[in-house]
């Protein structure tokens, strides 16, 4: 299943607008992603403009042939900007409005995964800051805003005494909180490109849990790609991620976060439809393991967007 995607060796120069930044909590990471993408596309001979949509009232540069979405978080990943671009009739990278909306909502994602037979962690949803500890549950648990990305607002609760304070902190980021059993095991991420799973990346924080700080602090986390797993375990994790992505209607590319239990069984956590695109981000790492350079990865994403627009999807 791990084959190099068929990115065209010849490049037809295009006028591409890279949208990055935006109004979300992940603005700074998005700016870095977009700057890296823009630089890579320019090396291939494209004319590249950059657009930072800090409000919904933006205008694309005249002559834009395709938009490369390097936005993260709310507005960029929840289907909003995708719907605006659909209205304008401009091709764009990533998933469509409905897939984006579903994948950005962790509860809707879990519901789709469950319907497709994809294993996912036990969960419940809490909306009140005074909600009691979930009856019948034992610590540790993980608290996540239902609609945020990039580990924003993530809290690990090791003791029930810490529940109330952690819950109040997470509710600052969304009106609904996902309470999830904490799955012990190895943390993996599975990139998917053009309907094919890429080599697994294993995420190993040097200490503590893989939260926002570990994700964006240089040297805080070790990444192993390809992950040191046997072929059968690798295939199970890839298939679970691919099935989850299809369950939310995904097509072009994404990154799926997976926990691997001690018995080798994968558990899908969530789906990121616009994963980080700095040159050291995890999807580019996985593509590089197959020999696909960063610039060629960006080019392939553009080609997928144009193919999808041609098919009217």
| Active-site pick, 255, 281, 296, 308 | 255
Pick the catalytic residue: 33, 100, 150, 281? 150
Q: Is 123 a catalytic residue?
A: no
**Choosing from 92, 257, 281, 308, which is the catalytic residue?**
257
Give the count of alpha carbons within 13 A of 61, CB side only: 16
* Residues 284, 293: Cα–Cα separation, whole Å: 8
Of the candidates 301, 18, 197, the residue with the CA atom closest to the CA atom of residue 293: 301
| 272 among known catalytic residues | yes
Please tell me the distance from the alpha carbon of residue 234 to that of residue 157, in angstroms, as a whole number: 30
Q: Which H or E run contains 177?
A: strand 177-181
Catalytic pick among 49, 216, 264, 279 = 216
Residue from 155, 276, 281, 296 carrying the catalytic annotation:
276
198-234: buried (b, 16+ CB within 10 Å) or exposed (e) per residue? bbbbbbebeeebbbeebbbeeeebeeebbbebeeebb
Pairing mode of beta strands 221-224, 201-205: antiparallel
Rounded Cα gap, residues 80 and 87, in angstroms: 11
Active site residue 257: yes
Distance of CA 6 to the CA centre of its chain: 22
> Which residue out of 50, 155, 180, 270 is catalytically annotated?
270
Q: Which of 252, 272, 303, 308 is catalytic?
A: 272
Active site residue 150: yes
H or E, element range at 118: none
What amino acid positions are annotated as catalytic residues? Answer: 26, 150, 216, 255, 257, 270, 272, 276
């Amino acid at each position: 299943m791990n084959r190099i995607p068929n990115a065209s060796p010849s490049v037809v120069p295009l006028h591409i607008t890279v949208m990055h930044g935006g109004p979300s909590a992940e603005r700074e990471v998005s700016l870095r992603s977009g700057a890296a993408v823009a630089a890579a596309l320019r090396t291939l001979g494209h004319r590249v403009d950059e657009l930072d949509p800090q409000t919904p009232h933006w205008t694309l540069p005249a002559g834009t042939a395709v938009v490369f979405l390097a936005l993260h978080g709310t507005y960029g990943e929840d289907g909003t900007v995708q719907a605006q671009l659909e209205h304008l009739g401009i091709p764009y990278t990533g998933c469509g409005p409905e897939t984006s909306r579903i994948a950005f909502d962790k509860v809707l994602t879990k519901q789709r995964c469950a319907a497709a037979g994809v294993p996912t962690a036990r969960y419940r949803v809490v909306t009140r800051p005074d909600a009691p500890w979930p009856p019948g549950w034992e610590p540790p648990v993980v608290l996540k805003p239902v609609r945020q990305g990039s580990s924003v607002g993530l809290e690990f609760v090791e003791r029930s005494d810490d529940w109330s304070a952690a819950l109040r902190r997470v509710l600052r980021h969304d009106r609904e909180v996902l309470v999830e059993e904490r799955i012990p095991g190895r943390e993996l991420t599975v990139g998917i490109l053009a309907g094919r799973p890429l080599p697994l990346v294993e995420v190993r924080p040097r200490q503590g849990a893989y939260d926002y700080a570990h994700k964006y602090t240089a040297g805080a986390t070790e990444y192993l790609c390809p992950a040191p797993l046997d072929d059968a375990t690798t295939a199970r994790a890839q298939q679970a991620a691919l099935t989850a992505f299809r369950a939310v209607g995904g097509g072009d590319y994404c990154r799926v976060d997976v926990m691997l239990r001690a018995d080798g069984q994968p558990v899908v956590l969530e789906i990121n439809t616009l994963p980080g695109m700095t040159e050291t981000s995890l999807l580019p790492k996985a593509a590089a393991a197959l020999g696909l350079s960063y610039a060629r990865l960006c080019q392939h994403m553009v080609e997928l967007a144009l193919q999808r627009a041609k098919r009217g999807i």
